[in-house]
Amino acid sequence: MKILIAYDGSSCADSALEDLRRAGLPRVAEAAVLSVSELWMPVVESAGAGEVRIVGALPASLEKAESLARRACERVQSYFPDWTVKAEARSGSPASVVIEKADEWRPDLIVVGSHGRPALGRFMLGSVSQKVVTEAHCSVRVARGGGSDAKTPARLLIGVDGSPDAEVAIRAVAARVWPANSKARVVIALDDVVSEVIDQIEGGRAWIHETIEAAGARLRAAGLTVSSQIRKGDPKSILPAEAESWGADCIFLGARGLNRFERFRLGSVSAATAARAHCSVEVVRLRGRAE
């Protein structure tokens, strides 16, 4: 497995490194830690009431990015002694550089934090993570570390809709190595349009249950304790809410959803879920296919 880790030295990036220990990743893997120095950093000053304003710009420091990458590389290596880990720094627009590196190196998974460090020129990395989630040609994990011990049983919520991409997400979860007694919850969220269409199709409701059962069987075969939920509502809201109420460590979902019922692509759902969730979100796609 090849894993590309974007790191900017922020607390969110540190949480993303910590989260790697809870991601079920293999004992042996190849990882690259990439830090990006923007070509220009804003110079800010206080404007009162906790606000700041930009008063100028300075060249960013590639040397600092290199130092950050090396530091993160050492930390990842300490977590995974059998991994091959290398550090790299580049200059440019963070999201574009991460995607460019991924296109060159072809990782199986990109790991990004949810927000970034202003000192590296980003007031909010949210826009970066969203761009990577949407445009990368491989799976992307928007990581939010919860501080749990690596050996604590994991709680994994998987959004499914019967699409091929959802099946890829199920396979990805089943292929990982999880702590003993870890749990998976399979969730199907049906908005009003899809629910109405399903009711008009012979065997539509049976198909939903068959989809859940097939996913559950694969996950149970991987040693996970499985439960399921059928919820009515917008998946963009249902998945983050269900994950929070259940105490999920991570949401897994496919990059694109079901078009059997002429639905819009799940790409918007995956991006919205990654932005709204209180836990880590892994958007799973076959390498080489973007939105």
Looking at 114, 143, 172, the residue that finishes a domain is: 143
Residue 154: what pLDDT? 96
Residues 124 and 181 in one domain: no
Asked if 194 and 261 count as a contact pair (C-beta separation under 8 A), the reply is: yes
Containing H/E element for 4? strand 2-6
Residues 10 and 134 in one domain: yes
Residue 119: what pLDDT? 38
Residues 161 and 111 in one domain: no
Residue 22: what pLDDT? 94
Q: Is residue 150 part of a domain?
A: no
DSSP for 87-121, written as a single string: EEEEES-HHHHHHHHHHHH--SEEEEESS--GGGT
Residues 117 and 175 in one domain: no
Measured distance CA(281)–CA(59) in Å, rounded: 33
Measured distance CA(173)–CA(150) in Å, rounded: 16
Asked if 5 and 111 count as a contact pair (C-beta separation under 8 A), the reply is: yes
Residues 70 and 134 in one domain: yes
3-state secondary structure of 37: strand
Looking at 92, 118, 143, the residue that finishes a domain is: 143
Q: Which regions in the chain score pLDDT beneath 70?
A: 39-60, 115-126, 146-148, 194, 197, 204, 257-267, 287-291
Residues 124 and 226 in one domain: no
Domain coverage including residue 225 = 155-284
Q: Which residue has the tokens 């993570």?
A: 129
Residue 117: what pLDDT? 45
Residue 261: what pLDDT? 39
Residues 174 and 222 in one domain: yes
Q: Is residue 149 part of a domain?
A: no
Residues 7 and 59 in one domain: yes
Q: Which two tokens stand for residue 180?
A: 């003993």
Q: How many domains does the chain have?
A: 2
Q: Is residue 17 part of a domain?
A: yes
| Helix, strand, coil distribution of the chain in percent, nearest 5 | 40, 25, 35
Looking at 143, 168, 199, the residue that finishes a domain is: 143
Residues 187 and 163 in one domain: yes
Q: Is residue 289 part of a domain?
A: no
Residue 123: what pLDDT? 35
CATH of the domain at 224: 3.40.50.620
Asked if 231 and 190 count as a contact pair (C-beta separation under 8 A), the reply is: yes
Q: Which two tokens stand for residue 177?
A: 């190595």
Q: Which two tokens stand for residue 192?
A: 């009003």
In this prediction the pTM is: 0.84
